[in-house]
Amino acid sequence: MTRIRRPLLALSGSALLLTGCVTGGIPVPGLSDDSIAGMKAPLIASAQFDATLPSSAGDPRPPRTLYFSGAADDVGTNYWRQERDKVPIPEASRVIPDAKIQAYLRGILLRLLAVAPPGAPDVQVHLLASSGYQAMARPDGDIYVSINVLAQAGSEDEVAMMLGHELGHLLLRHHDKDKLFKEQRDATTMAAGAFVLGTVLKSQMDAGGGNLAGNQKAGLQQDANTVMATKFALDFIGKDVVGAAWNRQQENEADLLGIDLISRAGYAPLVAQYGLEKIVAGEKARGTMTERLQKLSDERTKRVEAEMQAAWSSGNMTVTPVVGAMLDAGTDVGREIVDAVSGRYASGEERLQRSWDYNDKFYADAPGAPHEGYEEIKTSLGIKDMNNAYAGVIEALFALPENRYDDAEARLKAGYGIDRIGDHPLPRMVEALIHQGLGRDAAALQALQQIDPDLPMPIEGYTMKATLEASKPAGMNRWQAITAAPSKGKAKSKPQPAGNPLVTLETAQAIYGLEAVQPTRIAVLARMGDKAQARAAYDACQNLSEITRKQCSTTAVAVQVAEAEQPVIPLPDVNATPAEPKSPSLRSLLGFGG
């Protein structure tokens, strides 16, 4: 019996950001890039899986926040390693801590593991805040499924297919640990580094606004904050395909093994295919949004640079414009990674067609009707409400690159309305960006303090929090309690102390490692007026990776605790017509070549 294929959804665009792909993995007999014609049996029956590793889900645990280079040793023994052997796992800060939805996902995972071949020990599934319909897997066994998947899926069968696909990547050993480690470090360091430099720029303007009129200074500060928010938004949407930018062969293999798994677990593989059509549509939407954000980032960055150069050249500012010139680093490298991925990523249309063919060949007589009752499950678990809340948060984030701060605040307030996300990291991070862009630094700090201390913030959140703690928000003395009005949403009953920025950085280091924190430590110590310790922190960078050393150097120059190896922007004659500044390649500044 031949199935009638549904029309394919149109797809254009490419993958966005990359953290790792491989050329190896477990070989699949008879499968090629272009055809399944040579396959004599389903993939699950023909591939040679690792029989020494029984597939299982260990006791529920939080997602891991650190990834290690080298062999896949037991995670518990890896903390003795040098800091340059660690890299942050940013998805951990985007996990939605909802126990009921988490338990539902785990139930589906256990059902799949019960019929899975060996090779995937200690698999965990986590609910992810995301801008699209997608899932991703990490080599340590963590699988992330977007809340958007659960909200948009028409049946549990579709959700099972997403989980089965990611479990397929783990079983087929698609991760190249060393390549993943390097590319994750590059992407994470660049994203966090651009944010660090943005906070340096803002704090230096606070301290060195010169003769700028109040509205001029406020406008420039908001523009600088908007640049940071745009970088954060770009990083956010890029991470929506982190761990998912596999090459064509890998995506084909994971799709086919996912079909095998859900079929053996009693789901309807034909119905589950409909989820792949949503993936195709999501890829197109994310590609369009990324291009838009990159354009806005470029425009805003050029505006900040031009305003800083004009104000500094006329004697109205004491802050060097080198900081502004380096704010566009994240976008430059983002394009570089986009170019690298787009040439090897699997077309969504190709994947969908291949899966239909596989179903026809091996599962023509499989059940065609989906499991019933999924809409009731959505309602009982509050999945739609949670998805709508996070949709408001993400819409608020994406409003900031267009300088629509009032609109962003209204959208975030709507997201807080369900009273389930008030202590989650992502909403409070977006709230802090809104407050800071509107000149409400005390409220920005309080927003970050609302986050459940047991949940990791994004790296950028610790950067912002430590910088605010090291500053002197309007109406406050450093270290005094916040007296500003409570943040919108679920607020704590009492104002919290401003906090110690060095303790904040120690917390971040324990979660994400020294490499992710050290550039911020330099900036924070300088902001606190301790140039000697800032210089010592810069000197300590010499034992870290090359890209982090470059980031430390850039930050140290910006906060004036180290000299640039060569002039970055020539000092103009304030009595002459300002010349167009000539800045070096930003890729070169941050270790990516000229």
What is the residue-wise DSSP string for 137-152?
E-TTSEEEEEHHHHHH
Q: Give the per-residue pLDDT at 209.
A: 58
Q: Give the per-residue pLDDT at 576.
A: 42
Q: Give the per-residue pLDDT at 176.
A: 60
Cβ atoms 327, 191 nearer than 8 A: no
Out of 163-172, 214-223, 287-296, 402-411, which region has the weakest mean confidence (pLDDT)? 287-296
Q: Give the per-residue pLDDT at 106.
A: 97
Q: Give the per-residue pLDDT at 579.
A: 41
Higher pLDDT, 590 or 63: 63
pLDDT band of residue 48 (cuts 50, 70, 90) is confident
Structure tokens at 118: 């060996």
Average pLDDT over residues 38-54: 89
Give the tens place of pLDDT for each residue, 317-335: 665 555 555 555 544 544 5
Across the strands, what pairs with 88?
A: 66
Q: Give the per-residue pLDDT at 386.
A: 96
Give the contacts of 115 (CB within 8 A, at least 6 positions apart). Answer: 261, 264, 265
Q: Among candidates 20, 3, 15, which has minimal Cα distance to 353?
A: 3
Give the contacts of 482 (CB within 8 A, at least 6 positions apart). Answer: 442, 445, 446, 449, 473, 476, 495, 496, 497, 498
What is the Cα–Cα distance from 37 to 28, expressed in whole angstroms?
Answer: 13
Helices (H), 492-530: 501-512, 518-527
Structure tokens at 51: 């029989």
Q: Among candidates 66, 90, 91, which has minimal Cα distance to 76?
A: 66
Q: Give the per-residue pLDDT at 73.
A: 46
pLDDT band of residue 591 (cuts 50, 70, 90) is very low
- pLDDT > 70? residue 572: no
Give pTM, 2 decimals: 0.81
From residue 400, alpha-carbon distances to 216, 217, 293, 436, 575 in Å are 19, 19, 10, 11, 37
Give the tens place of pLDDT for each residue, 464-486: 999 999 986 654 443 333 223 33
Higher pLDDT, 570 or 347: 347
Out of 150-164, 436-450, 470-484, which region has the weakest mean confidence (pLDDT)? 470-484
Cβ atoms 52, 118 nearer than 8 A: yes
Give the contacts of 237 (CB within 8 A, at least 6 positions apart). Answer: 16, 131, 286, 289, 290, 293
What is the Cα–Cα distance from 499 to 444, expressed in whole angstroms?
Answer: 13
Q: Give the per-residue pLDDT at 196.
A: 82
Q: Give the per-residue pLDDT at 573.
A: 37
Give the contacts of 105 (CB within 8 A, at least 6 positions apart). Answer: 125, 126, 127, 145, 150, 159, 163
The strands making up 124-128's β-sheet, listed across from edge to edge, are 124-128, 142-146, 135-137
Average pLDDT over residues 98-105: 96
Give the tens place of pLDDT for each residue, 527-568: 898 999 999 999 999 888 888 888 898 889 888 887 655 444
Q: Alpha carbon 20 to chain centroid distance?
A: 14
- pLDDT > 50? residue 430: yes
Q: Among candidates 513, 592, 561, which has minimal Cα distance to 92?
A: 513
pLDDT band of residue 348 (cuts 50, 70, 90) is low
**What is the maximum span of the chain, computed from C-alpha positions, in angstroms?**
84
Average pLDDT over residues 457-463: 92
- pLDDT > 80? residue 307: no
Q: Give the per-residue pLDDT at 156.
A: 95
Q: Among candidates 161, 115, 169, which has minimal Cα distance to 141?
A: 169
What is the Cα–Cα distance from 307 to 290, expressed in whole angstroms?
Answer: 26
pLDDT band of residue 174 (cuts 50, 70, 90) is confident
> Coil, helix or strand for 245?
coil
- pLDDT > 90? residue 578: no
From residue 243, alpha-carbon distances to 55, 138, 430 in Å are 20, 7, 24
- pLDDT > 70? residue 593: no
From residue 404, alpha-carbon distances to 230, 368, 392, 397 in Å are 12, 47, 14, 10
Give the tens place of pLDDT for each residue, 10-29: 322 222 222 333 335 777 77
Average pLDDT over residues 496-521: 87
Structure tokens at 239: 């991470």
What is the residue-wise DSSP string for 49-67?
--TTS-----S--PPP-EE
Give the tens place of pLDDT for each residue, 199-255: 777 776 766 655 666 677 777 778 878 878 877 887 777 665 544 445 667 888 889
Backbone angles phi, psi at 561, to 5 degrees: -115, 0
